[in-house]
A and B are shown apart, each in its own frame.
Chain A
Amino acid sequence: MAEFFGTTVADIFNTMPKRFKPEASKGVDVVIGYDCGGEGGGKWKLTVKDQAARIETVEGDLGPCTATIIASDAETFIGVTLQKIGAIDALSQGKMKVIGDTRMLMTLLPQIFVQYTVPAKKTEVTARGILSAIGERFRPDKAAGVTLKYGYDLTGEGGGQFTITIANGTCTLKEGLDADLAVKMTMEAATYVGMMTGTIDGAAAFTSGKVRIDGDMMAAAATGKYFDKYVDPNAEEAEELLSLKKITSINQRFATGPVMGKWFAGLREKKLLASVCPVCRRTLILPQEICQFCHVRTKEYVELGPEGYVTNFDLVYFASPDPLSGEVRDTPYACAWIMLEGATPEDAFAFEIKKEDLPKLKIGSRVRPTWAEKPTGSFRDILYFEIID
C-alpha cells in the first residue's frame, strides 16, 4: 500500500471508528462517499446515523450519498487529512472535488471525528534482534583476557537458543546451545527483552524464578560487564540534566600512640609484634595497651610467626560496596583467622589470603605472610598470607 506522510489511506479509514465521537454526532444522519484515485486509493462509504459510525469499503459504484469526496490521488487525500496540504488549495487545483455541501463537510467532519495523526513508528524489539546485534555492543577492553561461553535458552514467543562465546577479545553468537557452556540462562524471551530494555530488573527476575541459571552464577552476573548497555530504539530522547560530580578530599592525621606505634614500627622490619599480658601471659595481636581479661597494662612485646595456620576463614562472594566510593572489591576473597607461631590459643590474627591460593584453602592450612618490597609502617606492608605447600 502506498504510503504518504508516513501513513496510508486505509489507515485513515480503519481508525475512523476509534476516532468517532458519538456525543458530538447527535441528530447527524449522513452518508459520505470517498473516492480516492491512484495507487493506494480506493472507495469507502461512511454512514453516520443514531450516534454510530459505520465505515465500509466499496467496490464499484458508491451509491446514493449525502456528499462525496473525490481525491485524484492518495497523496492529496492523506495530505489534506493531515492538514499538510490545504483543503482549499487541493480543491482549487482540482486535485480534490466535493459533490454535495462542501461547507457542511468541513464543519461536520472535524466535529464528529478526532483529528487523525500518524501513529509513531515503533521498531519492534525482539530477543533475536537484540542478540543478533550483540557484537556491536561488545567491549573488547572490558573483556580483555576473558574466555567465556554462555547460553540463552529463551522460551515462548520470539524465543530461541543461543550460544555466546567471548574469547581473545571477540564475541560471537550462534544459534543453538553448545554442550560446554559455563552457564546457561533460561527464561521467557519477553523477560530477556524486558531485562535488556530496563523494564525488568535482572536480580528481581532471578529471585522471583523468572530466570533460571544453570552453571557458574558469578559468570552469569558478570556477562553484562562486557557489553555496552542496550539502547531501546523506541525510548524517547531524555531531557538533558546536569549533575556535578566532585570528590571532596579531607586530610586526616592519625596518631598511633605508643602501643599501636610498636606494631607499625614492627611492620617496617617485617615483624609481627604482639603485646603480652604480664598476668595471664596471653599474646595480644594487634598489640593492645590493656589485657581485657586481667585489666592490667601490657609492657612486653614478642614477635609472633611469621608462619602460622588457618583456624577459620570466611570466603566472601558478595562484597558490600564501599560506602564512600561505591566500589565493590574483587570477589571471592577470604578473610582468615591465623594462629601465628608463638601465639596463645584464641589469639588469632585476621588477614587476607592470596587470591590464587583460595581453591586450596582449608582449616589447618599453613600460611606465611608476603611482604611489600619496601615496608613503610602501614597495613599495606603485608600484601597477603600465602599457603605453604
Chain B
Amino acid sequence: MTCKCEDIKDCFVIEARMALPNQYFVGRIGSKWIIAMRDKKKLTGLKCDKCNITYVPPREHCNKCGATIADNWVDVGTTGEIVNFTIVNYNDKHLPKKAPYILGQIKLDGADTPLTHIVADVDPADVHVGMKVKAVFAEGPVNTLMQLDHFEPV
C-alpha cells in the first residue's frame, strides 16, 4: 500500500540529543597503575616471578600460569620500542585525537607485553617498528590512561 501524503507542509525533523552518563571503574589494579603515573611519574607493571613475565598494562593474574600477581609491582622504564603501529586516518568524536595520528604498541624496557598508546611528534611516514620512544606524562591529574599523555621518539 502506498502512503498518500496530501499535506506534508508541516512535516519536519526534530533534532535531539540523548545523553548517556557512564561510569567506568578503573579497578584496583588499574587505579594503582594510573596513580603511580600521576604521583611518581613512573610506569609500573605486575610481574610473575615464576614465569618471569612482566605485564604492562598490569594484570591481576599471570596469563601463563594463572597465579595471582596483584601485589608484585615492579617499575619498568619510561622508554621502550615500537613493536607494531597503525595510522588512524579518520575522524570520529570518540577518538582521542584528530586524524592522522599514530597508535603504537610499545614494549617498554623491562616489560614483556606491549602497551598501546598514541605516538606523537613524528611524521607518520617516518614511524617504524623498532623505533625507540619515551613516555610523556600529562601535567595535572587526569586519572585515566591519558595520565600518560603520549610517546615521542627519543
Tell me the A residues contacting B by CB distance below 8 Å.
239-258, 261-262, 264-265, 324-326, 377-378
Contacts and interface: CB of A to CB of B under 8 A. Distances in A.
A248 B22 contact: yes
B11 A324 contact: no
A243 B18 contact: no
A356 B28 CA distance: 49
B23 A264 contact: no
Contacts of A377: 12
Specify which of B8, B13, B14 lies most central, judged by the most chain A CB atoms within 10 Å of its CB.
B14
Interface in B1-33: 5, 7-8, 10-28, 30-31
A243 B24 contact: yes
Contacts of B30: 242
A253 B15 contact: yes
B31 A326 contact: no
B21 A249 contact: no
Interface string B19-54: 111111111101100110000000000000000000
Nearest to B145: A244
Nearest to A239: B28
B144 interface: yes
A241 B18 contact: no
Grouping DSSP codes into helix (H, G, I), strand (E, B) and loop, the A interface class, with mixed when no group exceeds half, is mixed
A250 B13 CA distance: 16
Contact of B13 (A248, A255, A258, A326): A255
A256 B14 contact: yes
Contact of B19 (A248, A261, A262, A265): A248
Given A324-B19, A325-B19, A242 B26 contact: yes
A257 B34 CA distance: 51
B35 A252 contact: no
B143 interface: yes
Contact of A242 (B10, B13, B20, B35): B35
A253 B11 contact: no
Give 3 nearest A-B pairs by CB, closest first: A261-B10, A242-B26, A265-B10
B11 A257 contact: yes
18 contacts: A242-B25, A242-B35, A243-B23, A243-B26, A244-B23, A246-B24, A249-B17, A250-B20, A251-B16, A254-B13, A256-B14, A258-B5, A258-B8, A258-B11, A261-B11, A262-B10, A264-B12, A265-B10
